[in-house]
């Protein structure tokens, strides 16, 4: 009887862990895409902003993400666009889902450019890696956000 019970227990426990289960994922869609940069919407309120790190040898994609709470997608767009008008001297610091993203505006030959920058490392670290997007124009941002 003990052997039958033990065999039954092994069969039941083995079958419980060997089953394949598919996990349903939120659907994602690309909101806007330009060369080396794109904005993706995941599910109802999550957004991912991807750009290729031009500082890396392989130019891997880097991203930051945020939830569209209190119309944050429009706040981000309007904040970015206002930087093209004011062209702040120092980079603007933005927190996105716990990540620090710097918005660096520069003017060259009368054209204003935006560059996203993220640093990897702790605040105490002196050897931080900075991930940088390509230079973006006002028209690029409008195309990304489909405005």
Domains along the chain?
28-145 (2.30.31)
* Helix (H/G/I), strand (E/B), else coil: 44: coil
d(CA 137, CA 147): 14
- Nearest CA to 63 out of 97, 26, 90, 31 is that of 97
85-142: per-residue pLDDT in tens?
Answer: 999 999 999 988 788 899 999 999 999 999 999 976 555 445 567 899 999 999 999 9
35-55: per-residue pLDDT in tens?
Answer: 899 999 998 889 999 999 998
Q: What is the pTM of this model?
A: 0.74
60-101: per-residue pLDDT in tens?
Answer: 899 999 998 888 899 999 999 999 999 999 999 998 878 889
């Amino acid at each position: 009887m003990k052997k039958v019970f033990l065999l039954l227990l092994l069969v039941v426990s083995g079958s419980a862990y060997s089953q394949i289960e598919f996990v349903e994922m939120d659907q994602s869609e690309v909101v806007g895409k330009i060369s080396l940069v794109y904005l993706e919407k995941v599910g109802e309120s999550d957004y991912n902003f991807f750009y290729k790190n031009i500082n890396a040898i392989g130019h891997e994609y880097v991203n930051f993400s945020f939830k569209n709470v209190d119309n944050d997608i429009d706040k981000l767009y309007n904040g970015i666009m206002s930087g093209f008008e004011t062209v702040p001297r120092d980079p603007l610091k933005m927190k996105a889902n716990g990540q620090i993203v710097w918005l660096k505006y520069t003017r060259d030959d009368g054209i204003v450019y935006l560059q996203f920058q993220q640093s990897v490392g702790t605040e105490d670290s002196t050897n931080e890696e900075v991930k940088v997007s390509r230079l973006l124009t006002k028209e690029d941002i409008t195309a990304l956000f489909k405005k």
